[in-house]
Amino acid sequence: MVTLSELQEQVANVVKKLTRSVVNITTTRLLPSVFLLLVPVKGVGTGFIIDDEGHVVTNAHVLTDVRRAEVYLNNGEMVEARLVGKDPWTDVAVMKIKGSDLEPVELGDSDKLSVGQFVIAIGNSFGLAGGPTVTFGVISALGRHIRTERGPLLAGLIQTDAAINPGNSGGPLVDLEGKVIGMNTAIIPYAQGIGFAIPINLVSKVAKDLIRLGFVRRPWLGINGVDVDPKMARHYGLGVSKGALVVNVIRGGPAWQAGLRSGDVIVAIQGVEVKGMDDLIGQIWEETPGSKVEVTVVRRGKLMKLNVVLGTTPSY
């Protein structure tokens, strides 16, 4: 049984270890003023070092429409930085910095998380001087899907009650062993005590693609669809009251080759329930191009299972 004082010491040790790997990102954007003149507007964000080569991950939205970005180490030193790539669909960006004695974080396994687990969020809250801000909480839920103010769906997120404030975006969410299990990304502005983090396994996968290719190889099913609701189900006699209704199958795409057709209702991927399009997108994005997935559909009231080999999202 861990005492409160032992827990406090453990948290303090984790923070001391991690802050050496956390960087402060200061950005400048040119935005129109009321007089239609472009004026420089400062922004702040957080990032953390993931390897010995100086690669830093942060949120893509931190670097959106930025004219200039400055990266500062924990000791206050400004280091040279360049953008490697960013992916707005997962809100992950990678920068590369130059500096001496760069210390990468230790990555955990976000597939092994549990609701109720203690976590620590570290970030550059509000851009305040005096070092990073640290907050403590628990994992409130896993596998959350949210639509951000910026538009894209962020799927499979970790929900936490550890406070994530402006400037914390891109900072690490860590467990009590000091391993990074997520990257802080979004807060719901109208809710209190709810923050989200991108699972580190996804961050790592996206970062590897950005470093190696400059873009992300995203799995592709090859359908267009809509959410099923009870009213739609009754009107069309779909046989199920929730799922993802296939409206169009891209000819020649992975779903077409596997035998999916318009009018099918996708109710599960790999045996995991699909309640709507957000669930479908989130589960597909957890896979990799070339992987085979079992897609369960309802067709004319009958349950069917089809194996689909996922493709790579085409660039149009």
Just give the CATH number of 219-312.
Answer: 2.30.42.10
Which of 18-27, 212-221, 256-265, 283-292 tops mean pLDDT?
A: 256-265
d(CA 103, CA 249): 47
Q: What is the mean pLDDT of residues 177-196?
A: 81
Indicate if the pLDDT at residue 244 is higher than 90: yes
For residue 130, the model assigns a pLDDT of 62
* Contact status, residue 194 vs residue 188, Cβ threshold 8 Å: yes
* Architecture in CATH for domain 106-212: Beta Barrel (2.40)
Say what the alpha-carbon torsion angle 204, 217, 83, 165 is, to the nearest 10 degrees. Answer: -50
Fold matches, 15-97 and 106-212: yes
Residue type, 172: P
Question: Which residue, among 248, 265, 259, has the nearest Cα to 300 in the 3D structure?
Answer: 265
Q: What is the mean pLDDT of residues 119-134?
A: 77
For residue 198, the model assigns a pLDDT of 94
List the catalytic residues: 61, 91, 169
Q: Where are the domains of the chain?
A: 15-97, 106-212, 219-312
* Contact status, residue 159 vs residue 140, Cβ threshold 8 Å: yes
For residue 2, the model assigns a pLDDT of 73
First vs last Cα of the chain: how many Å apart? 57
Q: Identify the CATH class of 15-97.
A: mainly beta
pLDDT digits 0-9 by tens, 286-312: 888 999 999 999 998 899 999 999 999
Indicate if the pLDDT at residue 33 is higher than 70: no
Mean pLDDT of the chain: 88
d(CA 198, CA 186): 9
pLDDT digits 0-9 by tens, 197-227: 999 999 999 999 999 998 888 899 999 999 9
Say what the alpha-carbon torsion angle 232, 235, 236, 242 is, to the nearest 10 degrees. Answer: 30
Work out the pLDDT band at 36, boundaries 50, 70, 90: low
Its pTM surpasses 0.85: no
